[in-house]
Amino acid sequence: EVQLVESGGGSAQAGGSLRLSCVAAASTFGPYCMAWFRQAPGKDREGVAAIDSDGSTTYADSVKGRFTISKDNAKNTLYLQMNSLKAEDTAMYYCAAESDWRYCSPASSFRYWGQGTQVTVSS
């Protein structure tokens, strides 16, 4: 089992930036498909971005050009840099990991999840 712990959430003004981090307690972080999801009150969970073992990334259309997913294998840490924030980005953000994957995207299935970190954007 992989334990994931998110941090970096908080409040920001519209147009501002935040960076989320997710530390994975895993013996080998590199081979995993990693992703960020979010869920706003009353809405379904939404896949935001994913990154595979080679560093290839995919994004939801709603965040393309504004968010960047990255990882540091040496630190077992996943990041989400969020720029040009909008009020509609307000949500609980979760990181997820999967070791048994063929195609890594926000639409993939993930077995391991963090507890989430809240992001609130005011307009």
Please give the share of the chain, as a percent, with pLDDT higher than 70.
Answer: 100
List Cβ neighbours of 116 (8 Å cut-off, separation of 6 or more).
6, 92, 93, 94
For 87, phi then psi, to 5°, come to -60, -35
**Measuring CA to CA, how many Å separate 109 from each of 8, 11, 33, 113?**
24, 29, 10, 11
pLDDT tens, position by position, 18-45: 999 999 987 777 889 999 999 999 999 9
pLDDT of residue 28: 72
Pick the closest to residue 6 from 51, 53, 38 (CA basis). 38
